[in-house]
Structure formats: C-alpha cells, structure tokens
Structure 1
C-alpha cells in the first residue's frame, strides 16, 4: 500500500528559480530511488524551510529513503530533519483529485 512521506528542515536557500537551477541534478537522481512514485518540492523563503512531499510504493521504501535523505542532509549541515510517514485515505483523497495512484 502506498505511503506518503513528509519532510521539512531549516533551509537558507537558494529558493525559487535559483533553487530550480541548482538542484536539477538532485531532482533527477530522486527519480531513481527505489519505490519513489512522485515528489512535490516545498520551500518557504520567509520561514527558511525546505522539504518535500513524496509518494512511495510502500513503507519500507519510504523509510529507507527517509534514512538516506536524513543522513545526506546532515552531511550538508542540516541539524534537524523532520520526517513523517503517513497512511493515505484513498477514498477521501480520490474525491479531492489526490494524485495517489494505487
């Protein structure tokens, strides 16, 4: 069953177009992660936050990615990574056009 992974962390940029240009290689590499279906990148320049919402095939692949991503971010100097794996209410999400795929 698909799992949603929500991640956020303190981030001081780049943001917007500069972020898009700087991280295109990372974005492309994320497509190769086992079990990853899609990612929505999140950013808040005002609150100095970065992160993402991911859909994974199952809890095992979501957990493995969170562990790897947390270690990668910590190597980049990020002190605290907040990650949470959620079940998806498929019926209600479908009513609201959630791109969940089953």
Structure 2
C-alpha cells in the first residue's frame, strides 16, 4: 500500500497549475490521498489556489487522469474542497524555493 501511495504522489507531481510553475502536490493543493483496499480505489481530497481559479475544471481532471495511469489503481474519485482555504503556508519548501519565497 505504501508503495502505491508513493506512486500516486509521483503521478500527482506531474500535474502543474498552468499559472504557477510548480506541481499541484508541492503547491499543497492535495489535502489527502486515501487508497481503499482491496481494489485500490483512490480518493483524492484537493483544493485550488482560489475558488475563482481559471483552472477550476481542468486541474481536478488532470489529477484524476494522472492517478488513473498508476499501475494497481482501479478507480479514482476527486473531491474538491475549499475548507480549509488554501494559503501559501501549505506549499512545500521545494515550491517556496521554486517561487522565490525562501
């Protein structure tokens, strides 16, 4: 299960917000990843940088498609939330460094 979780994270790191040159995982847009056995269904809880994000429809679809390609994953459900609201502190140090915040 842990290995599958790591593969899912790696898949999510291939999805970029088109307005920010950092992937959605490092940006902190992924709040939770649940792998539900025995069929390895995946539930992603994610947010956007703002409710008015121009990529509001595209980013969740891109995340779903990326995870669907992970070997061993049978199904992917993406839940979009704005609670808690996104803020820059949710970014990883990698993202902050990339964007010049460190």
Which bin holds the TM-score, normalised by the shorter protein?
A: 0.3 to 0.5
Structure whose alpha-carbon radius of gyration is higher: 1
What TM-score do you get using the length of structure 1 for normalisation?
0.44
Higher strand content, 1 or 2: 1
